[in-house]
């Protein structure tokens, strides 16, 4: 903030050798009112354009990191699906075969998430002025439905195995082979590590699609753990406990379906433009209030689209300012918010006059 003759107040917009630019906020005695000095609007537009370019490059890097992580998951799932299915066939374990089927579904789910992140990376165009980020929410919802479907399918398989065993006398040939335990231990280790890495990256870049893919890895680890427990009990207890792996798999199906429903609700809420948490809105309001010329912020609405957010807020300024001056302050607010930590791809600022104290709500 700078003071001029007659105590006029100006907002410094750009500083350079002999070319500083100011916005008059308050006129002092004997000073002529004027608006922006020549070139100010171009300066603001230049700052905003530079920020948008930097933001898009940063988001492009986030999308690329997410796609690389998903691709690694696809390759791992292809390998594990083949190993578990063959291990189930030759190791006499229906639970391991079902686990291999779940890994196969993960391959298709991860491929879908990869394609969604690739599409969401596209910049805004004439038909999609807010970008293509919503595809990320739709992919997360589809991935959650696949997770629910996988859990239901495995549940039906487990119930079928349990029912078919009723009235039959178990024999040693019904027991799974011990080498299946090694396959399951390795699977649990790989999938839990990939779950933690994917979930951390998904939260750090704000990607629900990547978070949904992470829960696919966790569900695979859960089914593998259930199969491990069931096979272990069957091997220790003998033929009388041959159905233990099916009961353990049935229990894990409930956990998988629960996780799928939870991810589905998050994805649908985002697709329907659910309001961002109050803590984020409060920080955005506080940041906007620091702009010179802003007397208060009346309301803030923030929604998520892909990896970015879109905000609109009502900002109050002195009623003595001209329309041009209020408009220019709104540009400063927008630029400051888009240069913040909140990954705002678009900000709409509504300017309202600050009412006299007697008229305030």
> 6 pLDDT band (50/70/90 cuts)?
very low
62-271 — its CATH code? Answer: 1.20.1510.10
Q: Considering only CA atoms, which of 160, 119, 111 is closest in space to residue 136? A: 119
What is the structure's pLDDT at 38?
A: 37
CATH 1.20.1510.10 domain span(s) along the chain = 62-271
What is the structure's pLDDT at 128?
A: 84
Q: pLDDT of 114-134, one tens digit each?
A: 787 778 778 878 888 888 888
C-alpha distances out from residue 228 to 104, 177, 254, 360, Å: 19, 12, 17, 67
pLDDT at residue 3 is higher than 80: no
What is the structure's pLDDT at 360?
A: 53
pLDDT at residue 359 is higher than 60: no
The better pLDDT of the pair 92, 225 is held by 225
Determine the average pLDDT of the residues in 222-233.
84
Q: Whole-model pTM?
A: 0.63
> In this structure, are residues 180 and 85 in contact, taking their beta carbons and an 8 Å threshold?
no
What percentage of the chain carries pLDDT values higher than 70?
Answer: 80
Q: Considering only CA atoms, which of 360, 349, 313, 268 is closest in space to residue 44? A: 349
275-361 — its CATH code? Answer: 3.30.70.1350
CATH 3.30.70.1350 domain span(s) along the chain = 275-361
User: How high does pLDDT run on average in the chain?
Assistant: 76
Determine the average pLDDT of the residues in 319-338.
89
Token pair for residue 99? 């686990």
Q: pLDDT of 228-287, one tens digit each?
A: 888 888 888 877 787 787 787 788 788 778 888 988 898 888 888 888 888 889 999 999
What is the structure's pLDDT at 349?
A: 93
Q: pLDDT of 11-46, one tens digit each?
A: 554 455 444 445 544 444 444 443 343 344 444 444
Q: Any idea what the Cα angle at residue 47 is, between residues 41 and 53, rounded to 5°? A: 130
pLDDT at residue 47 is higher than 70: no
> 185 pLDDT band (50/70/90 cuts)?
very high
> 172 pLDDT band (50/70/90 cuts)?
low
């Amino acid at each position: 903030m700078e003071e001029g003759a007659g105590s006029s107040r100006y907002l410094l917009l750009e500083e350079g050798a002999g070319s500083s630019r100011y916005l008059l906020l308050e006129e002092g005695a004997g000073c002529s009112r004027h608006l922006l000095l020549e070139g100010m609007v171009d300066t603001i537009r230049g700052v905003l354009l530079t920020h948008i370019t930097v933001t898009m490059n940063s988001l492009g890097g986030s999308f690329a990191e997410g796609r690389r992580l998903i691709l690694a998951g696809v390759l791992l799932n292809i390998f594990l699906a083949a190993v578990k299915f063959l291990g189930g066939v030759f190791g006499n374990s229906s639970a391991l075969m079902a686990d291999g089927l779940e890994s196969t579904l993960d391959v298709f789910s991860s491929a879908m998430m990869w394609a969604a992140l690739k599409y969401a990376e596209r910049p805004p165009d004439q038909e999609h002025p807010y970008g293509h980020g919503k595809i990320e929410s739709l992919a997360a919802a589809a991935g959650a439905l696949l997770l629910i479907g996988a859990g239901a399918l495995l549940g039906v398989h487990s119930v079928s195995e349990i029912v078919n065993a009723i009235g039959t006398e178990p024999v040693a040939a019904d027991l799974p082979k011990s080498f299946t335990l090694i396959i399951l231990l390795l699977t649990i280790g790989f999938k839990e590590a990939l779950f933690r890495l994917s979930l951390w990256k998904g939260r750090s870049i704000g990607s629900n699609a990547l978070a949904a893919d992470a829960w696919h890895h966790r569900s695979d680890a859960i089914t593998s753990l259930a199969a491990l427990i069931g096979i272990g009990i069957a091997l220790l207890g003998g033929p009388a406990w041959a159905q233990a792996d099916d009961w353990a798999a049935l229990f894990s199906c409930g956990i998988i379906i629960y996780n799928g429903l939870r991810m589905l609700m998050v994805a649908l809420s985002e697709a329907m433009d659910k309001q961002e948490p109050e803590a984020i809105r409060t920080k955005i309001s506080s940041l906007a209030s620091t702009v010179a010329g802003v007397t208060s912020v009346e309301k803030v609405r923030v929604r998520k689209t892909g990896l970015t957010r879109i905000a609109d807020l009502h900002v109050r300024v002195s009623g003595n300012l001209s329309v041009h001056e209020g408009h220019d302050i709104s540009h400063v607010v927008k630029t400051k918010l888009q240069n913040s930590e909140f990954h705002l791809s678009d900000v709409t600022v509504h300017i309202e006059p600050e009412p006299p104290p007697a008229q305030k709500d």
